[in-house]
Amino acid sequence: MHPAKSVIFFTTASGAGYGLAFLLILFSILGILPTSAGLGWAGFLIAGALVTAGLLSSTLHLGHPERAWRALTQWRSSWLSREGVMAVLTYPPVILYAAGWVFGADLTNPLWVVIGLIACLFSAVTVFCTAMIYASLKPVHAWANPLVPVGYSLFAVMTGAVLLSFLARLSGISPIAPEVAALITLALGYGLKSAYWARMEDKPAPSTMETATGLGTIGKVSLLEAPHSEANYLMHEMVFKIARKHAQKLRMVVVGGGFALPFLCLGAAVLTGPVSGLGTGLVGLAVLFTAVGIYTERWLFFAEARHTVGLYYGSGSA
């Protein structure tokens, strides 16, 4: 599949934003993160900016952005529509909770806890809907499986946790919760992505050139002549070819940048103890590595996925 920059930015940025808001509120409800106004402002503003920039970017690739509101109407059948509806519904409880936080409301009050839980739930459901847009596409074998929604959710929390660790250190508090959450999700993220790649190798797609043409009863099918001499929309959009050796190198960037280096930086920062320039610098590095890693991860998510339409253009496997 063609890795469109707007969609890669949208899914990674909004994922990190929802992950950050989710963790801020969850840790606040659990009482394991000091609700300082500084952290509240920084955290919720950055989360809001990431989510909003992502959502706006996702409308950039539309042929008719001015009609985007229509995408909120078909939530009964369409995961894309559900995502849009949930994205809109998630703003009020998150903004309300953020306001309560920065203006010093008593967040232990049951009413605030309920608002917070709704905000957490809606953030999680929005990310899940984003993932289901891809996981519900049967023609793309690499995507049509539960590892995709689990992965999107995990990576959202992971990137959110790394960001929150940095913001907490910057605002002069170094509670252990965000850093432990980051370390755990980085390890889980690596396991999840390894499982995703292993499945790609081990589980061949059910569709072949033989089933696509129905000519398998006669013999082995190959493309003799394409319909047109030049590439067309279908080939540009869905028959994206990535050299295998590049894919292997990019996977190493994902493993190194996305999981291993941030894990080491955060681990080292935890060992340096509470607030110090070195610790903050290390966590800042982790944020940079994670950003590069997750962007590459999402680029590969698209570039490595093969669509059944490629079978009609001679690609051996779907």
The structure tokens listed for 140 are: 């793309």
Q: How far apart are CA 209 and CA 168, in angstroms?
A: 54
Least separation in angstroms between CB 65 and another protein: 8
- Of 212 and 275, nearer to another protein (C-beta) is 212
User: Minimum distance from CB of 287 to another protein (Å)?
Assistant: 31
Let me know the angle formed at the C-alpha of 193 by 188 and 197, rounded to the nearest 5 degrees.
150
CB atoms within 10 A of CB 252: 12
What number of residues does the chain have? 318
Distance between CA atoms of residues 240 and 246, nearest Å: 13
Do residues 291 and 262 make contact, with C-beta atoms less than 8 angstroms apart? no
* CB atoms closer than 10 angstroms to residue 168: 27
Residue 76 CB, shortest distance to another protein, in Å, is 6
- Shorter beta-carbon distance to another protein: residue 77 or 248: 77
Smallest gap from Cβ 240 to another protein, in A, equals: 12
Which lies closer to another protein via its Cβ, residue 224 or residue 243? 224
Give the span between the Cα atoms of 213 and 207, in whole angstroms. 10
Give the SS3 label for residue 307: strand
Interface ranges with another protein (CB under 8 A): 1, 61-65, 67-68, 70-74, 76-81, 84, 133, 136-140, 206-207, 209, 211-215, 217-228, 230-234, 237-238, 307-309, 312-313
Q: What is the radius of gyration, based on Cα positions, of the chain?
A: 22
Tokens of 196: 């995703």
Residue 79 beta carbon to another protein: minimum distance, rounded to whole angstroms = 7
One-character DSSP codes across 250-280: HHHHIIIIIIIHHHHHHHHHHHT-SS-HHHH
Nearer to another protein, 68 or 250 (CB): 68
Q: How far apart are CA 24 and CA 12, in angstroms?
A: 18
State which residue, 164 or 235, has the beta carbon closest to another protein: 235
CA distances to 18, 39, 88, 131, 291 from 46, rounded to whole Å, are: 10, 10, 17, 22, 14
Nearer Cβ to another protein (111/226): 226
CB nearer another protein, residue 70 or residue 249: 70
Amino acid in position 58: S
Closer CB to another protein, 33 or 137, in the complex: 137
Tokens representing 16 are 């990190």
